[in-house]
């Protein structure tokens, strides 16, 4: 039987169907699965990921290491290192009692506008699949599962719960399912999460065809789970092959799955299949009574963990430009070093999602790390030069609770007007989320949550204040209501909460003590959230001071980029540009300084309109909490940047794949409009990217001397592609320092128009020496999906293989016959 078949076998049998273990198929609460005494299965905790382990209670006091984001890991082109990072996350999961981590995200940033692109590895299915599998391997080596997400075509955030990705079958198979297939084939994640969106008309968690590909074609043996609140219909999802509904308490699965089987709407073997997979997950994660807990392959000390994060951060940096070898900085020639830009003192580590991680231990900012690295003999002066582009938590602005303690006072009260405080605590955040029970009140009842923050202003000040939440929110300043915010539309509850959306009002706040209160009255619901934020209006333009400083300094390091709210879950961007204040800052600094080095702290492809006017551009992504020290080491030349772009950078928005196309009236996004995407779009459209996929400089130079294919191709089942194609590339280091180069291979099938990435190899070469890189080409890169007979085939004839140093480099052409 296929995973999605609907049968009435249960009716045919006289015996009552066996419903044992049905409870396992529904979640227990926000982050746990249900236990089953009869199956000997305990609850399993599933937590976000992928940038670190998120607090189960969404509490700012639960910290964990912030890892490099997907794009940063993508830029390392280093599966071993990515697996080490996975091990660190896995180990952190073990320490926090987690059974599976909700990551990695193997969707594809079809364009730089993809709101959640920072979580994704790259625009290429092979690179994404290889690095994703390495991450999964690392995590699972610790006895913690990976819940690889989101199957599939969840590449855009607009209307993500309802939108329909219309993808032609060959594109779906060769591009969007590919990373998942590679991860399943080589790392076998213990869970796969089905996406919210529809694919070709059917919601992924109810899509029998898609789940059939996983379970029947790929022989996937793990648990297929819904995205959070992503199930709408018990029978459709159960028959399609879904095994687990999350989060709990169960509404469509659990007992309802059993009832659907008893009623004959779902075949009994489908329930057995789900229960068997969930029980297997419990076995794998050590959550089955009488079973053994898997032994982690190797526990790392805290020091080793930080060292891995540091290496991953510095290896992720991509040097896009380095005119006159301005980097590494020649510290002997610098007396005054100007550091400029908001991200130097307040770096950005993550986008706006639920998966927000609070950093563990010390976090050294780029500014502090640069100061420490250059030592006392050199003057390092700082000016932010631009205000942060998104609103800040009240606690970042010096708020105190009414009793004078730094922080805000958080209170929970009953519904209505009564002032009976049921819970109160001083907290160090001003956005709060509760899945299920609200503290002091419990679950399933209406109530009120309130944030009170006091400020003392030396002078009257203009601020923009923002308030929002899952119910009606009001904002009061010194006892007067100044704003009422209606509750959000109910469709994407996770999105609403993840976006922490607010409505804002600009106000003149008087000199002296001011009390700001945000109160939110909520109805019973599965999740509640309240947010209070503020943006201070600058009195003087911070740009002038930064430009002054830049003009006086011997060299300027500008650190600009995104803020946490710049890229968000459940919302897409409208431009690839950085915020205007950052672009304005770089342009103004470049006018007055000769040695301008720009570090971009944004985890997506961005527009760099000022790149021609500066000496160096270093792309730093969201590189994890070791950003500062790793950056200082690279600027000072203790480490060389060796990252390569995992996404192509456009010259202008209009050149982005699919620019100008969006959802139609039926909320369908037609992928045809942006395909092929990434480097294939740029190379094929003749539009040229500004910096291409695979591109990156270092502190030395390389020359590709020779490339030959050595082939003993074995034709296998076409679904498995062609094994045994190897390219040997000779590269010489023509500079005067040791360096790491990444050799890449791109293949063009007979009769096709463009080249596709099929393999890579990184090598370290000493100055003046040459070395051979042996690139084993990806077998699956040699098959094509034939939509007319729904089968894989291997195009025969002469294939061209281009060995190159990035996607737009002509490199050396070889040919092989298949």
Binding footprint of ligand BGC on the chain (CB under 6 A): 48, 102, 149, 227-228, 354, 494
Tell me the pairing of strands 722-733 and 770-776: antiparallel
SS3 655: helix
Contacts of residue 626, Cβ cutoff 8 Å, sequence gap at least 6:
306, 309, 310, 312, 313
> Which one, 93 or 388, has the nearer CB to ligand BGC?
93
Minimum Å gap between C-beta 238 and ligand BGC is 21
When the beta carbons of 154 and 709 are compared against ligand BGC, the nearer one is 154
Task: Return the number of the residue (546 or 669) whose C-beta is nearest ligand BGC.
Answer: 669
Q: Tokens representing 351?
A: 């986008």
Six-digit token string for 237 = 């999802």
The alpha carbon dihedral of 195, 196, 199, 203 has a sign of positive
Q: Give the closest residue to 35 by CA, choosing from 332, 198, 248, 315.
A: 248
The rounded distance, in Å, linking the Cα atoms of 736 and 675 is 42
CA 13 – CA 18 distance, rounded (Å): 11
User: Residue 201 Cβ, how far from ligand BGC at the closest point, in Å?
Assistant: 21
Residue 196 or 792 having the CB closest to ligand BGC? 196
Exposed/middle/buried for 517, CB within 10 Å: 0-12, 13-18, 19+? Answer: buried
Nearer to ligand BGC, 128 or 389 (CB): 128
**Dihedral sign, CA of 354, 164, 27, 21?**
negative
Beta bridge partners of residue 322, listed in sequence order: 616
Q: How far is CA 449 from CA 420, 425, 530, in A?
A: 12, 12, 7
Can you tell me whether residue 164 is helix, strand or coil? Answer: strand
Q: Is 183 helix (H, G, I), strand (E, B) or coil?
A: helix
Q: State the residue number with the nearest CB to ligand BGC.
A: 494
The distance of closest approach from Cβ of residue 565 to ligand BGC in the complex, given in angstroms and rounded to an integer, is 17
State the DSSP code for 439. T
What count of other Cβ atoms lies within 10 Å of the Cβ of residue 812?
17
Contact indicator for 454, 513 with CB cutoff of 8 Å: yes
DSSP H helices, 536-659, are: 542-552, 580-592, 627-635
Measured from the CB atom, the residue of 46 and 765 that comes closer to ligand BGC is: 46
Kindly state the smallest distance separating residue 160's Cβ from ligand BGC, in Å: 7
Give the span between the Cα atoms of 80 and 773, in whole angstroms.
Answer: 17
* CA pair distance 488, 67, nearest whole angstrom: 32
- How far is it, in rounded angstroms, from Cα 724 to Cα 735? 34
Strand-pairing partners, residue 513, are 456
**Least separation, in Å, of the C-beta of 517 and ligand BGC?**
29
Nearest CA to 359 out of 367, 347, 372, 371 is that of 347
Closest distance of CB 492 from ligand BGC, Å: 8
**Of 146 and 744, CB closest to ligand BGC:** 146
CA 98 to each of CA 340, 527, 783: distance values in angstroms, whole numbers, following the listed order: 40, 21, 38
Cβ at position 564, least distance to ligand BGC in Å: 16
Minimum Å distance from CB 48 to ligand BGC? 5
Cα-trace Rg, the chain: 27
Q: Which is nearer to ligand BGC, 227 or 626 (CB)?
A: 227
Residue closer to ligand BGC by CB (options 107, 142) is: 107
Q: How far is the CB of 228 from ligand BGC (least distance, A)?
A: 4
Q: How far apart are CA 207 and CA 4, in angstroms?
A: 8
Query: CA-CA distance, 383 to 341, in Å (whole number)?
Result: 7
Nearest residue (CB) to ligand BGC, 494 versus 507: 494
Are 564 and 350 within 8 A, CB to CB?
Answer: yes
**Shortest distance (Å) from residue 119 CB to ligand BGC:** 8
Shortest distance in whole angstroms from residue 154 CB to ligand BGC: 8
CB of 354 to ligand BGC, least distance (A): 4
Q: Which is nearer to ligand BGC, 33 or 399 (CB)?
A: 33
CB closer to ligand BGC, 431 vs 608: 431
Q: How far is the CB of 30 from ligand BGC (least distance, A)?
A: 8
Taking alpha carbons only, the member of 142, 432, 159, 410 closest to residue 295 is 142
Q: Is 153 left (phi over 0), alpha (psi -120 to 50) or beta?
A: left
Nearer to ligand BGC, 228 or 682 (CB): 228
Tell me whether residue 48 or residue 78 sits nearer to ligand BGC (CB atom).
Answer: 48
At its nearest, how many Å lie between ligand BGC and the CB of residue 690? 30
At its nearest, how many Å lie between ligand BGC and the CB of residue 575?
A: 23
The whole-angstrom separation of Cα 686 and Cα 448 is: 57
CB nearer ligand BGC, residue 228 or residue 349: 228
As given in the structure block, the two tokens for residue 815 are 């040919």
């Amino acid at each position: 039987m296929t995973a999605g078949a609907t049968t009435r076998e249960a009716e045919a049998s006289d015996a009552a169907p066996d419903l044992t273990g049905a409870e396992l198929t529904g979640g227990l609460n926000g982050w746990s699965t249900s236990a089953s005494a009869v199956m000997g299965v305990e609850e399993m905790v599933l937590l976000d990921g992928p940038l670190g382990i998120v607090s189960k209670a969404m509490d700012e006091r639960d910290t964990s290491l912030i890892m490099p984001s997907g794009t940063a890991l993508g830029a390392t082109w280093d599966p071993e290192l990515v697996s080490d990072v996975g091990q660190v996350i896995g180990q952190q999961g073990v320490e926090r009692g987690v059974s599976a981590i909700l990551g990695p995200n193997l969707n594809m940033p079809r364009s730089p506008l993809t709101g959640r692109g920072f979580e994704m590895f790259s625009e290429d299915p092979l690179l994404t699949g290889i690095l994703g599998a390495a991450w999964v391997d690392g995590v699972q080596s610790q006895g913690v599962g990976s819940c690889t997400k989101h199957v599939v075509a969840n590449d855009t955030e607009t209307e993500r719960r309802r939108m329909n990705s219309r993808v032609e079958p060959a594109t779906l198979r060769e591009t969007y399912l590919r990373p998942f297939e590679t991860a399943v084939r080589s790392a076998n994640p213990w869970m796969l999460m089905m996406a919210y969106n529809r694919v070709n008309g059917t919601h992924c968690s109810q899509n029998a065809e898609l789940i059939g590909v996983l379970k029947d074609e790929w022989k996937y043996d793990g648990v297929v789970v819904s995205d959070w609140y992503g199930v709408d219909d018990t029978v459709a999802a159960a028959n399609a092959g879904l095994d687990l509904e999350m989060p709990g308490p169960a509404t469509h699965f659990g007992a309802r799955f059993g009832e659907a089987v008893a009623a004959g709407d779902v075949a009994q073997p489908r329930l057995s299949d789900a229960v068997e997979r969930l029980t297997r997950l419990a076995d794998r994660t050590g959550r089955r009574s009488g079973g053994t807990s898997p032994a982690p392959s190797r526990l790392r000390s805290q020091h080793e963990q930080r060292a891995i994060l540091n290496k991953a951060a510095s290896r992720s940096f991509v040097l896009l430009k380095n005119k006159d070898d301005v980097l590494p900085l020649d510290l002997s020639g610098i007396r005054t070093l100007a550091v400029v830009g908001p991200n130097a003192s307040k770096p950005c580590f993550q986008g706006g999602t639920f998966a927000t991680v609070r950093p563990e231990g010390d976090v050294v900012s780029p500014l502090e790390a640069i100061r420490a690295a250059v030592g006392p003999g050199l003057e390092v002066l700082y000016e932010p030069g631009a205000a942060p582009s998104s609103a800040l938590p009240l606690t970042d602005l010096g708020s105190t609770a009414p009793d004078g303690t730094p922080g805000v006072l958080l209170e929970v009260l009953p519904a209505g007007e009564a002032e009976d405080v049921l819970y109160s605590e001083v907290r160090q955040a001003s956005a709060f989320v509760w899945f299920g029970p609200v503290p002091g009140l419990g679950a399933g009842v209406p109530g009120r949550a309130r944030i009170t923050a006091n400020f003392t202003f030396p002078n009257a000040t203009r601020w923009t204040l923002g308030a929002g939440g899952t119910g009606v929110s009001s904002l009061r300043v010194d006892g007067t209501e100044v704003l009422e915010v209606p509750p959000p539309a109910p469709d994407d509850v996770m999105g609403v909460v993840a976006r922490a959306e607010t409505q804002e009002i600009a106000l003149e706040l008087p000199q002296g003590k001011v009390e700001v209160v945000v109160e939110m009255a909520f109805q019973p619901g599965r999740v509640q959230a309240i947010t209070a934020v503020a943006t201070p209006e600058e009195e003087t333009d911070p740009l002038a001071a930064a430009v002054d400083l830049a003009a006086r300094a011997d060299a300027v390091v500008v650190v600009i980029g995104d803020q946490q709210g710049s890229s968000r879950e459940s919302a897409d961007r409208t431009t690839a540009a950085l915020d205007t204040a950052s672009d304005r800052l770089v342009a103004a600094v470049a006018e007055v300084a000769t040695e301008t080095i720009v570090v971009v702290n944004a985890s997506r492809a961005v527009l760099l309109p000022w790149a021609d006017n500066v000496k160096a551009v270093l792309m730093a992504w969201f590189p994890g909490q070791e950003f500062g020290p790793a950056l200082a080491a690279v600027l000072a030349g203790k480490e060389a940047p060796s990252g390569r772009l995992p996404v192509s950078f456009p010259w202008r928005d209009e050149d982005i794949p699919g620019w100008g196309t969006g959802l139609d009236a039926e909320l369908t996004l037609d992928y045809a409009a942006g395909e092929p995407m990434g480097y294939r779009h740029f190379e094929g459209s003749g539009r040229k990217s500004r910096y291409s996929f695979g591109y990156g400089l270092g502190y030395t130079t390389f020359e590709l001397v020779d490339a030959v294919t050595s082939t003993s191709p074995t034709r296998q089942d076409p679904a498995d592609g062609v094994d045994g194609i190897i390219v040997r590339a000779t590269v010489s280091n023509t500079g005067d320092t040791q360096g790491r180069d990444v050799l890449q291979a791109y293949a063009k099938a007979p009769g096709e128009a463009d080249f596709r990435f099929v393999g890579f190899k990184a090598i370290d070469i000493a100055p003046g020496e040459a070395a051979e890189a042996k690139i084993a080409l990806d077998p699956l890169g040699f098959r094509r999906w034939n939509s007319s007979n729904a089968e894989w085939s291997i195009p025969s004839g002469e294939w061209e293989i281009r060995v190159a140093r990035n996607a737009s480099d002509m490199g050396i052409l070889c040919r092989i016959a298949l």
